[in-house]
Copies of this chain bind each other. A is one copy, B any other.
Amino acid sequence: MSTSPEQLSTQGIAAGWHPDRVTRVRALLANHQIDALIVPRWDRHHFEYVPLANEWLAYLTGFSGSWGMGILTQEELILFVDGRYQEQAHSQPNAAALQIFHLHDYPPAQWLEECTQEGWRIAFDAQVLSPTAHDQLAKACKSTGATLLPVVDGFIDDCWPERPAYPLSLANVVSDEWAGQSVTTKCDAVAEWLRCSGAAFLVDVLPDNVAWLLNLRGRDLDYCPVLLGRILISDDGKVDLFANAEQLADAERALSERVTLHQPNDFLNIIAKRAKSANTILLDGTQGPQAAREMLERHGIRVLQQTSAITHLKAIKNATELGSMADAAMRESGAWVQLLHWLDRQLDDGLTPSEFDVEGKLEEFRWKIPDYCGCSFRTISAADGNAAHAHYAAPAEGGRLIRKESIFLLDAGGQYRSGGTTDTTRTWCFSEASPEALNDATLALKGHIALAGQTFPDGTLDHNLDVLARSAAWQHYRDYDHGTGHGVGHFLSVHEFPQRLRKEVSGTPLREGMVITIEPGLYRNGVHGIRHEILYEIVAAPQTGWLKFKPLAFVPFCRLLIDLSLLDESETAWIDHYHQQTREQLSTLGLSADERRWLLNQTRPL
């Protein structure tokens, strides 16, 4: 076996699946008297993205989706995936070699409860599994008399000859001025939080939390400028950073004096050392790791399982962060206007660019922005029926062409070195829309306006606002099967926690200084997908104790997709005001005369 170019992507790793992979892991398990191995999609960082080197689930099962879990026994290879991925899993080339279950309807814990036997030894990587996941699996094992066995690393690395290299990008320290706050100030805020919780220190494995706290950025992952580090921070504001020293070679001198650097493998040892004088520590139960929790509890230390203090503090952006995020979103809006103008002209000229062409063209316009440094997620450039797929990625060849009669959805975001992460969606058409498309687009727009125009009490729980974006669609028996909005980072993750607008309980109080998307949509399988997404800052309303949304991105809505007969006066006024702001905001961007004319026309009062 040799390294193949297929190893350069998750899809490549999955496509290269061969039964030998499974045979090798089984042999290793047999050597260690292990009866079953738990293989999650995530790694030690519980982040949205994992480096290729940690695509264990793709390697073992050939499944390339973004979420799932595998269990390997000597007899079976089992894959658990959610509703989004049922079709993909069942049609992947090696599907016959798998047992595929629904992650929610028949979760791994239930399989363990029904299919394991007394005396079985079931291995999991205790630096990867979270306490929450561990407890579910442990409870199931207990019921059959099986043992859940923590191991160091998950066995697969040793059976993966052509495993991609673990990322070792050079990290850099950003200035206090750029971040708007010094590391000292941030660490003091976390320390204060810990003292209020009565906790001696906090364990945090989230790379974007590490990046924010230490004013550090890296390039270990696509789409998100982070270093794959983990930290402890104590109630005196001192930080232990666990990361590869070579990645910090350039940055180490600039690191705050609060920070002590350790090799990643010292993580548990240092936790043990710091814990000697601790009664209580904080750790996010959904992240962990279980290895730390187990060790601490064994020594009689109380482990408070809570969302990290850093996740909460990072969510409230400071004035500098908000300023650079607004600036980046405004400049990216210019690229969108150029793209949409270009697309209109292409179709006027009788051309039919492909989805992939449009995706590339947007990149071309964005790379002209001096501090642009890449996408914040894989662009969704989708025409007609393709836009009804949740996470469509246009292929270089064979995607749809955009024609006069197309309904075209573009969902894209960028990373900006001056300090911004963006996320925008527009749906466009180029001739009279079908009644269904016109209706769906207008209902989704009404939902967007109802939520975006809402004033609400400071501290309103995020999920409580979700229904405002659905109300208009529900009156027509229409709904969308995704959340309504998510937090966005400051040159960090485009899906930042903790705030979420969605039906499910999230429970985060909304506060001034948070940044969040609003993105209701409506979809018809095989026909079209419509979504209207804008990035908003949560700002103080004129009356104390009340908040509202202020748009950060300014891209016109497609006039051909607005049915004025469905809008009331206040909704029309909202759109006109947003379009007027769009004209004003983008006036300084140096658009061409033709682009400016196009923008004026698109943003004239309805």
Contact = CB atoms under 8 A, between A and B. Distances in A.
A138 B467 CA distance: 39
Interface in A438-479: 450, 454-457, 460-461, 463-468, 471, 474-475, 477, 479
A503 interface: yes
A278 to B, nearest CB: 16
A214 to B, nearest CB: 35
Contacts of A467: 464-465, 467-468
A195 to B, nearest CB: 17
A109 interface: no
- Copies of this chain in the oligomer: 2
Contacts of A465: 467
Interface residues of A, number: 26
B479 A457 contact: yes
Contact of A507 (B457, B466, B505): B505
A474 B503 contact: no
Contact of A477 (B450, B464, B543): B543
Nearest to A465: B467
A468 B466 contact: no
Nearest to A461: B503
A379 to B, nearest CB: 31
A546 interface: yes
Contacts of A475: 454-455
B477 A454 contact: no
Interface string A487-514: 0000000000000000101010000000
Nearest to A570: B568
A457 B455 CA distance: 25
Contacts of A507: 505
A541 interface: yes
A474 B455 contact: yes
A503 B479 CA distance: 22
A477 B457 CA distance: 8
A465 B474 CA distance: 12
A154 B477 CA distance: 55
Contacts of A503: 460-461, 464
A507 B454 CA distance: 24
Interface string A88-112: 0000000000000000000000000
Contacts of A454: 471, 474-475
Interface of A: 450, 454-457, 460-461, 463-468, 471, 474-475, 477, 479, 503, 505, 507, 541, 543, 545-546, 568
A-B pairs, 3 with minimum CB distance: A477-B543, A464-B467, A455-B474
